[in-house]
């Protein structure tokens, strides 16, 4: 279920430098598009892949951030144990009462939508060549080598330790600097709770992961309406690379998480963030908190935007399992001894379409 394979023959032209790659947005806006080009069609359809709504008695956990940051020890203690359960059972939760104003969330969605509305020429100035380019605009995953294209356009920016952002549209830089500043504080507090929830004391992750010089990336995924959503894929099954991802989305569903052997729909809750555990947290927790497998499907009605904010260790941190969590049961998959930069390069060089997870990264 985690693998998606192309129905079309490998898209020969895609790897040729002469090919003019079209964004999903431009394609979606071309008149009379009744069906998708064959190089967007997957044999394993995602939306038809029996994704379910969560059960009443097994629903996606909700964490109240105001309780996690409460000065009342009982409230905090309960919030930390809820967090432990959410990370262990699901690897994904909704975060409410997080203190980021609704107006700021909306302004962030608006400026990023505005970026995708720029001309292709302007956006293509940010076509990145290398994973560690500070700003990268593109379509699919890596359109120059992808065999089957994903129905999404994206923009990725490194926002910490140094803040990077395209200068256009006007005002985007200010809005995103403010938003990512807030998320940086939120991520740090959340990681304190996560650290405590692992029995490590609130400062362990902060120190061991060098959060002071944490690599933080803000991305935006644009999924335009798609005439054949059951054939196309937004993002195939994958896990995220950092420690935690805090995702904001407009009110259009599409995100799904793998839980209990099924794909479960993550229905948006207004003004809530979706937080998921990522690879470096799996490594440092010695596999106690698994990096959540998730994917995004597309729809034929409305443009969906998702805005993930990834917090990782610093680029030179070699993440290893916390000694207290090894306890004789050493989880082999977490034995990878690469620094974060090498891990990123390694993961990017393998094909996302294979539903890569940590076990496959093990060397
Ligand atoms: C991602 C991601 C999910 C979504 O960008 O890594 O998982 O809903 N996005 O777009
Ligand atoms: Ni992801």
CATH number of the structural domain spanning residue 69 = 2.60.120.330
* Predicted local confidence at residue 153, as pLDDT: 97
Looking at all shown ligands, the one closest to residue 154's CA atom is 1
Q: For residue 166, give its domain range.
A: 53-312
Token reading at 219: 């991305």
pLDDT digits (tens, 9 = 90+) for 197-234: 999 999 999 999 999 999 999 999 999 999 999 999 99
Evaluate whether residue 325 is within a structural domain: no
**Cα–ligand 1 centroid distance for 158 (angstroms):** 16
Q: Residue 359: inside a domain, yes or no?
A: no
| Residues 4-34 pLDDT 10s | 333 333 344 444 444 568 999 999 999 778 8
By CB neighbour count within 10 A (0-12 exposed, 13-18 middle, 19+ buried), where does 195 fall? Answer: buried
What length does the chain have? 363
Residue 331 lies in a domain: no
| Counted domains in the chain | 1
Nearest ligand to the CA atom of 218 = 1
Question: Does any domain span residue 77?
Answer: yes
CB 80, CB 95: distance < 8 Å: no
Query: Do the domain assignments include residue 125?
Result: yes
Per-residue confidence (pLDDT) for residue 31, from 0 to 100: 75
SS3 16: coil
Out of 247, 263, 352, give the residue to mutate to test ligand 1, the one with the largest number of ligand atoms within 8 Å of its CB: 247
Whole-number pLDDT of residue 32: 79
Tell how far the Cα of 327 is from the centroid of ligand 1, in angstroms: 34
Q: CB of 264 within 8 A of CB of 297?
A: no
User: What's the pLDDT score for residue 58?
Assistant: 82
The answer to whether residue 20 sits within a structural domain is: no
Q: 68-74 contacts: CB < 8 A, separation 24 or more?
A: 68/189, 68/190, 68/193, 69/189
Ligand showing the shortest atom-to-Cα distance for residue 273: 1
Whether this prediction's pTM lies above 0.85 is answered by: yes
Q: 222, 303 in Cβ contact below 8 A? A: yes
The list of the chain residues with pLDDT below 70 reads 1-20, 44-49, 332-333, 350-363
pLDDT at 331: 73
Q: What tokens appear for 361 in the block?
A: 């990264």
Residue 132 is given by DSSP the state T
Q: Is 311 in the pocket of ligand 1 (CB under 6 A)?
A: no
Residue 32 maps to a domain: no
pLDDT of residue 15: 44
Q: Closest ligand 1 atom, CA of 294? A: 7
Q: In 3-state terms, what secondary structure has residue 63? A: strand
User: Does residue 363 lie in a domain region?
Assistant: no
């Amino acid at each position: 279920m985690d693998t998606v394979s192309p129905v079309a023959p490998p898209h020969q032209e895609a790897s040729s430098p002469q090919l003019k790659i079209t964004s999903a947005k431009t394609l979606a806006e071309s008149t009379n598009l009744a069906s998708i080009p064959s190089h967007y069609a997957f044999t394993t359809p995602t939306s038809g892949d029996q994704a379910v709504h969560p059960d009443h008695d097994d629903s996606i956990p909700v964490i109240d951030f105001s309780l996690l940051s409460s000065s009342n020890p009982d409230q905090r203690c309960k919030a930390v144990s809820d967090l432990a359960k959410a990370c262990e059972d699901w690897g994904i939760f909704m975060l409410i009462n997080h203190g980021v104003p609704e107006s700021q969330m909306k302004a962030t969605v608006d400026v990023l939508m505005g970026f995708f509305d720029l001309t292709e020429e302007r956006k293509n100035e940010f076509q990145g060549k290398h994973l560690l380019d500070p700003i990268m605009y593109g379509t699919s995953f890596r359109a120059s080598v992808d065999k089957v294209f994903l129905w999404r356009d994206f923009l990725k920016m490194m926002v910490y330790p140094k803040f990077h952002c395209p200068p256009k549209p006007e005002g985007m830089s200010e809005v995103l600097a403010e938003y990512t500043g807030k998320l940086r504080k939120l991520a740090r507090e959340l990681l304190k709770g996560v650290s405590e929830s692992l029995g490590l004391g609130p400062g362990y992750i902060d120190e061991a992961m060098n959060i002071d010089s944490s690599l933080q990336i803000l991305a935006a995924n644009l999924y335009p309406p798609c005439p054949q959503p059951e054939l196309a894929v937004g993002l195939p099954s994958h896990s995220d690379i950092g420690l935690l991802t805090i995702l904001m989305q407009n009110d259009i569903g599409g995100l799904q998480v793998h839980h209990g052997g099924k794909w479960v729909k993550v229905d948006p809750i207004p003004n809530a963030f979706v937080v998921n555990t990522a690879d470096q947290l799996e490594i440092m927790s010695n596999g106690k908190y698994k990096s959540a497998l998730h994917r995004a499907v597309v729809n034929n009605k409305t443009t969906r935007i998702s805005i993930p904010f990834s917090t990782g260790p610093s680029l030179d941190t070699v993440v290893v399992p916390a000694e207290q969590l090894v306890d004789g049961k050493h989880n082999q998959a977490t034995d990878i001894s690469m620094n974060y930069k090498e891990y990123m390069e390694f993961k990017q060089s393998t094909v996302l379409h294979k539903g890569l997870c940590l076990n496959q990264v093990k060397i």
